A and B are shown apart, each in its own frame.
Chain A
Amino acid sequence: MTDWIEIGRLEDIPQHGSRVLANGFGNIAVFRTGDDRVFALRDRCPHRGGPLSQGIVHGSRITCPLHNWVIDLESGAAQAPDEGRTACFPIKVEDGVLWLKPR
């Protein structure tokens, strides 16, 4: 069981933007939506492994920059008819501070 770790502040990520948590076992992408919700997903598209952190955030979805797959930030699932899933990580904001629970 891992604990929550502090990873930065909400304003470190622009609205509709993303930043990366570097990790030897595969990067984690942290997203901030237009309405200031945050999500954390493995930075890897289930299609060809594209870096999701570099995509365009719209609603609570991210479009992969390589081949325009659309991934749901809440579930990590690819939008039908594409099939695949990216791992999600628990993340929360408290007083502007971002907390993540790596697994």
Chain B
Amino acid sequence: MAKQKLVLIGNGMAGVRTLEELLKLVPDHYDITVFGAEPHPNYNRILLSPVLAGEKKLEDIIINDDSWYADHRITLYKGRKISRIDRRKRLVMTEDGLEAGYDRLLLATGSVPFILPLPGRDLEGVIGFRDIRDVDLMLQASAQYRHAVVIGGGLLGLEAANGLRKQGMKVTVVHVLDTLMERQLDKPAAALLKCALEENGLNFLMEAQTEALLGDGRVRAVRFKDGLEIPADLVVMAVGIRPNIELAKSAGLHCERGIVVNDTLQTYDPRIYAVGECVQHRGSLFGLVAPLFEQAKVCANHLAEYGIGRYQGSVTSTKLKVTGIDLFSAGDFQGGDGFEELAFQDPSRGVYKKLVVKDNRVKGAVLYGDTVDGAWYFQLMREGTDIGDFRDTVLFGRAHMADEGREGNSVMAMADDAEICGCNGVCKKSIVDAISQKKLFTLDDVRSHTKASASCGSCTGLVEQILAATVGNFEPAPREKPMCKCTEHSHDSVRQAIVERRLQSLRSVFAALDWKTPDGCHSCRPALNYYLLCAWPESYRDDPQSRFINERVHANIQKDGTYSVVPRMWGGLTTPAELRAIADVAEKFRIPTVKVTGGQRIDLLGVRKEDLPAVWADLNAAGMVSGHAYGKALRTVKTCVGSEWCRFGTQDSTGLGVQLEKMTWGSWTPHKFKMAVSGCPRNCAEATIKDFGVVCVDSGYEIHVGGNGGIQIRGTDLLCKVATEAEALEYCGAFMQLYREEGRYLERTAPWIERVGLSHVKSRIVEDPDGRLALFERFRASQLRAQSDPWAELAQPAQRNQFLPLKQLG
């Protein structure tokens, strides 16, 4: 069967990105032909400004060179403009008479600069700022002439002005409003920007109404309504862009401001798709890169005939650089009636931050000079997090909240060999090189190519900054992050579907939610297995093959493929008999390393897989059970000696720790869950960096939650104080259950609480006694099945086979 024919009109970023996504899915499905009006291969339009400013060369901004098209057997016609689409015959025609037939047509005709209808607009030297040709004209003008006028004080205008100034021209920026970049900045930030740009040597005429462009042949001056005339040898119009829809219109496709497309990026002719700046989707037009790339992904999926995924619009934030000044804005940053504004200003450092807040929720943000927390504010906005609990410090940034000063202000000031990712040893230069050489655009791309921020994730903010500074304007994330590449659904929506639609197995989740893969992946399967287990504790049959190896064999895999074994010691208590049994096991199985852990347990390291059942059987025989040191589960309850021995102890912390551990062991949680009980505020058990901590005081028990001593150290929040041990136990069970039901898989309690807000947790646990009791009951119900020792089960003779080789070959 002959291959289907796909024609792409428009050789720009959105169209070619769609082809790239398509080729990833189905490399051989189509014969592809591309028509581009410009005489160049596909290049990164965002980087035209650095080319103009002389910071980059043309070849630096090419995304796909000619050989890429050849390698993928794509026929490319450069500098050939399509003049007509014949939808009946399914043909496109170039101006010079070349024809090409299509089965599917993709329009990515982009946009055209809006040229003000002024007298003199056709004079030589009057241009827009859109493509390489415009940049060439500007560079030529700068070599010959002195005076440039840029009409338009938006991002594009300022970048053009800055580039022309760097090329030695005297530049005046004309803006019709009193505020620069009014679509991204509020007045104070815009004023700071204007000041800084004036110091760099740009002139501004604000609230200026241009009346005419004067000249004879070539432009000579600009005249304003108030009679003022200024010299101009070059006029750059940067007052906005318009979707380029002429061709689509002439083919009879429905257009309004742009080519109207549905959620699958189809036009009114189902054979014709459109992406990028030329489209109008749900009433919106597009100018930033990130939404275009999201469209490309969805469109490619439908072109590949997978039929999965809908484009539902993008919530964007802009992180950008104007002449070396970092700016960030997102959401409703203007505020006004009914909104509150939190602001931080430090003029001498050149820093301004404003958050627009309503009902303790972030609705918008503007950052000037220090944008390191842009992604965090954007996340708070997207998640609708209640910031009431940290409103007083939110402007100081996330690093301040987490009591951690590791990240500096500007990553671009860091040296090339500065280590960005400490887990994988990736320095700044490797990241920059990978981004520019491999043409990476997204955080995920950078992660998979360089491994930077791919392990613990604490350097994500830095990597995002490097990405933004290297590829230009960048938007961090779509509205709801999909769970993984197998689905468009987020963690929360999958979970909701499991409960509401009573999905009881992995298979039914895959089917009901249109999973793109037959059986998920290593990322979604463990999450789904947990969500199902949490939703249906009495009936769901756990799927061991959907668990990470550690939870499958109830031991921790080590780098050499051996395992470590940690028996439970309730509250950190042990006995001579237990210690003797551990010593015997270590000798009998020649276990090379025996270590005391941070959670007051003993770790036997270097156990061979085939020995695991026998090791467990011996430990079981001495009365010990699995310590779950390997699981997303209750780990350990660390205690101090408390009032039984300590001269300062106020309560029996050890006894309470043992009770807590006996109540909670065996429960599965979204991520690991650690506890501690300290007998007095000296806090020797370090309860204030645990997921759940109790600090005993003379009058009772302080309940602390959401601490973390790991990647980002975070002290706990005080939840409340209770009077009795029984209450402490009840609050603990209720808190764990709330976390089990609301925490996303692999989300520790600390980020969970930061996401939902401590007030929310308090309202469910402290202020609602009936709700607390209900949570506690659900927790206890799920424990009925959870509290059976996995070691004892797996040490049974019938189970032992899976730990042995299938066969010995030689």
Contact = CB atoms under 8 A, between A and B. Distances in A.
Do A and B assemble together? yes
Interface of A: 5, 7-8, 12-17, 19-25, 27-28, 30, 34-35, 48, 50-51, 54-59, 61, 63, 65-66, 68, 70, 81-82, 102
| Most central of A14, A23, A48, A81 by chain B CB within 10 Å | A81
A8 B557 contact: no
Interface stretch (B59-67, B82-90, B514-522): B514-522
Contacts of A25: 810
A70 B484 CA distance: 14
Given A51-B561, A65-B548, A66-B557, A7 B806 contact: yes
B810 A54 contact: no
Contacts of B449: 81
Contact of A56 (B522, B553, B557, B559): B522
Contacts of B549: 54-56, 65
Nearest to A70: B522
| Most central of B525, B546, B806 by chain A CB within 10 Å | B806
B434 to A, nearest CB: 9
Interface string B798-809: 000110011111
B409 to A, nearest CB: 31
Contacts of A35: 518
Nearest to A79: B448
Nearest to B809: A23
B525 A56 contact: yes
A71 to B, nearest CB: 11
Nearest to B449: A81
A19 B808 CA distance: 12
Interface string B511-543: 000000111111001100000000000000000
Nearest to B544: A14
A34 B517 CA distance: 12
B522 A16 contact: no
A25 B810 CA distance: 8
A59 B545 contact: no
Nearest to A13: B806
9 contacts: A22-B807, A22-B809, A24-B810, A54-B557, A56-B521, A57-B545, A58-B519, A58-B525, A66-B559
Given A51-B561, A54-B549, A57-B545, A21 B805 contact: yes
Given A54-B549, A56-B548, A63 B806 contact: no
Contacts of A68: 522
A28 to B, nearest CB: 7
Contacts of B561: 50-51, 54
Contacts of A50: 559, 561
Interface residues of B, number: 28
Interface string B542-579: 00111011000100010101000000000000000000
Give the 6 A-B CB pairs with smallest separation, nearest first.
A63-B522, A16-B545, A19-B806, A22-B805, A56-B522, A51-B561
A59 B522 contact: no
A61 B486 CA distance: 14
Given A20-B806, A59-B518, 7 more contacts: A23-B810, A28-B809, A51-B561, A54-B553, A55-B522, A58-B520, A65-B557
A82 B518 CA distance: 23
Contacts of B546: 16, 56
A14 B543 CA distance: 11
Contacts of B438: 81
A8 B808 CA distance: 11
Contacts of A7: 806-807
Contacts of B544: 14
B563 to A, nearest CB: 10
A81 B448 contact: yes
A28 B557 CA distance: 18
A16 B806 contact: no
B756 to A, nearest CB: 28
Contacts of A15: 545
Given A55-B549, A58-B525, A65-B549, A12 B519 contact: no
Contacts of B525: 56, 58
A16 B557 CA distance: 19
B806 A30 contact: yes
B435 to A, nearest CB: 13
Contacts of B557: 51, 54, 65-66
B522 A21 contact: no
Contacts of A34: 518-519
A14 B545 contact: yes
A63 B805 CA distance: 20
A17 B802 CA distance: 10
A16 B559 contact: no
Contacts of A5: 809
A21 B807 CA distance: 5
A27 B808 CA distance: 9
B612 to A, nearest CB: 12
Interface string B776-810: 00000000000000000000000001100111111
A84 B548 CA distance: 23
Interface in B434-450: 438, 448-449
A59 B561 CA distance: 24
A67 to B, nearest CB: 8
A78 B561 CA distance: 19
A56 B529 CA distance: 13
B522 A22 contact: no
A86 to B, nearest CB: 15
A80 to B, nearest CB: 8
Contacts of A54: 549, 553, 557, 561
